[in-house]
Chains A and B, each alone.
Chain A
Amino acid sequence: MITTDRGATESFLFVKGLCKKYVRGSFWRKRVAIDAAAGVDFEIAAGRTLALVGESGSGKSTVARCVTRLEKPDSGQVLIGETDIADLDGRELAPFRSRIQMVFQDAVTSMNPSFSAQEVIEEPLLLDSTAGRANLTRKNRSELAAALMEEVKLSPDWLRRSILHFSGGQRQRLALARALALRPQLLVLDEALSGLDLSTQAQIANLLLDLQAAHGLTYLLISHDLALVARLADTIAVISAGKTVEVGPTQQIISSPRVAATQQLVASAEASASNLAAIMGTT
């Protein structure tokens, strides 16, 4: 059974029984099916954050890609509000694309290196087919891009600069600005904080909290680092070998993990905590 917080907020994203197989090989090769996701269940209330935590290879990225419909799930439900988007295609899916946006781990490779900051942020505006942003003039778009840059604490003077001049942390902010361009309701952050310096991670995490408060965003946070997401997430879902093995409120998961996979994650996080505690003389 999944425990979710039942409050005034309804569940914005409801995932049940999500399954996705990747088949490697073709007519020529022996087909090998890899069960990337084999039964994933969780839900996120509107305006809340759920962290999907697990080791590399546990299937987290697959879930992210299925929720944003970069891939089509083999089976299961992905409910946005009342609509199941798991089976939708093409035109029916289009309105949902602007409501769910994704931020990837490696800002360096998720952006076209020949683009300027402005081009990166504006691209979703140019491609979006829904009525909301379609009738923007070039000037409107520029202004919007500048406003978005300010929201992510980047100077709008840098709009025309090539992204090659941006540091890793700055590019991740750009990625956030890009993700916000279509005013989504759900942001999927796939290891978006991994590979950053500690200080940069903290800044971006704080930015995420600010943006959430300002826009009422719902976050699906994907990570291998339990300690990092513990501050950001209301609920944690632990995934192992393609299945959700435990779901619960953050405090509960951390203080009393039930399943082996969760315990392992908590133990690693606690180990580094105890090292620090020992050296700092705190307990």
Chain B
Amino acid sequence: MAENSREKFLEVRDLTVTYFPEGGRPIHALDGVSIGIGAGEVVGILGESGCGKSTLANALVRLSPSHAKIEGMISFRGRDLLTLPVPELRAIRGRDISLMGQDPALGLNPVMKAGTQIEEVLRAHFPFDRKQRRVRAMELLGEVGFDNPAEIYSAYPHQLSGGQRQRIAIAQALSCRPALLIADEPISKLDATLQAGIVELLKRIRRQNQTAILLISHDPSVFAGFANRIAVMYAGRVVELGTTFQIFQQPLHPYTQALVRLASASVITDAKPRIKFPAIEGESARPDQIAAGCRFETRCPERMDICSHRYPQEFFPEPSRPVNCFKYGE
């Protein structure tokens, strides 16, 4: 996939993840996804539930379920993560690439203090002694915005609010100053009033540490003013790629267009009661029933005959602007 010429330290090529759950049909969660991330870049993955974004996040650090088959290549600083021996992979997890899961309430161990959980990450990668770890954990708590790090350090997850737990998760992810932070739906479970704060925190982290961020969300507005590039995913594949500006100003794929339209209609300043949302009709494609042609075809307002017969390959209406849609070619 031709992207801009910045050096990519993480290159994903044709990543395919298939789940084989017991007694069920194979689920094609990811189907040939390719993407690259450059140092300090913020790349957004935009897509709804079931499009494979969490599968992608987990596959990048090889945390997929044991019944999953992963094919393709994930090249991190020249090494293929998929073939790396486990001890070397562990050295990378949390240290060079950190994964932050979706639900902060569930991602923290219920019987460990918050501060200890941050230290656990340090422990896995650095030979600090107990005192050094504690100092570092307190520093991190301050960095993620706590005014009272000592109190938070000794608190257990059930004593903390949702927003606080999310900040702890961020502190854990940051603790070893990773080159890449994968944030899987970092704000979707939080109150609207807390969301901006978390996004600001992530922006600050990126500025101060030059951390690259792979930001995953179903809500386009998260990416505005933050992401450099956005990859739009649908039913296990990337269907469009472009800079944030391009995606919002001139979305090419009908799905992207519908999402952007929906996001801008959802803003509060335009709200007039009783006027319907410009919703996308139909249900998202089920990952165990993949159609032969374009997967968005059944919901697409601009579908053509060819769309149900062949899967649209990549077209380049502009350089570095791939889109999988027959509107732009044959």
Interface, chain A (partner B; CB < 8 A) = 49, 55-57, 167-170, 195, 197-203, 205-206, 209, 224-228, 230-234, 250-251, 254, 264-266, 268-273, 275-282
Contacts and interface: CB of A to CB of B under 8 A. Distances in A.
Please classify the interface of chain B as helix (H, G, I), strand (E, B), loop, or mixed, using the class held by over half of its residues. loop
B274 interface: yes
Contacts of A195: 188-189
B280 A209 contact: no
13 contacts: A195-B189, A197-B48, A198-B220, A206-B279, A231-B274, A265-B193, A268-B193, A268-B195, A272-B195, A272-B224, A276-B263, A279-B224, A279-B245
B235 to A, nearest CB: 13
Nearest to B162: A56
> 6 closest pairs, A vs B, by CB?
A230-B271, A202-B279, A273-B267, A202-B277, A275-B224, A269-B268
A105 to B, nearest CB: 11
Nearest to B255: A199
Contacts of A266: 268
B221 A275 contact: yes
A222 B135 CA distance: 43
B279 A203 contact: yes
Contact of B269 (A273, A280, A281): A273
Most A CB contacts (10 A, CB to CB) among B192, B274, B275 go to B192
A209 B276 contact: yes
A225 B280 CA distance: 21
B173 to A, nearest CB: 22
Contact of B262 (A167, A199, A233, A270): A199
Contact of A276 (B188, B221, B278): B221
Interface residues of B, number: 45
Contacts of B267: 227, 269, 272-273, 276-277
B83 to A, nearest CB: 34
B247 to A, nearest CB: 9
Nearest to A272: B221
A202 B218 contact: no
A49 B275 CA distance: 13
Contacts of B271: 227, 230-231, 250, 254
B273 to A, nearest CB: 5
Contacts of A57: 161
B262 A280 contact: no
B147 interface: no
A156 to B, nearest CB: 16
B284 interface: yes
Contacts of A200: 48-49
Contacts of B263: 198, 276
B189 A280 contact: no
Contact of B192 (A197, A202, A269): A269
Contacts of B260: 280
B266 A228 contact: yes
Nearest to A206: B276
A16 B64 CA distance: 52
A202 B266 contact: yes
B245 to A, nearest CB: 7
Contacts of A167: 49-50, 283-284
A250 B273 contact: yes
Contact of A254 (B192, B218, B268): B268
A122 to B, nearest CB: 23
Nearest to A249: B273
Most B CB contacts (10 A, CB to CB) among A209, A228, A271 go to A271
Given A197-B218, A276-B263, 19 more contacts: A56-B162, A169-B283, A195-B188, A198-B48, A198-B218, A198-B220, A199-B48, A201-B277, A209-B274, A233-B273, A251-B272, A254-B269, A268-B192, A272-B224, A275-B221, A276-B220, A276-B224, A279-B225, A279-B244
Interface in B117-174: 161-162
B221 to A, nearest CB: 5
Most B CB contacts (10 A, CB to CB) among A49, A209, A251, A273 go to A273
A18 B315 CA distance: 60
Contact of B193 (A199, A206, A264, A278): A264
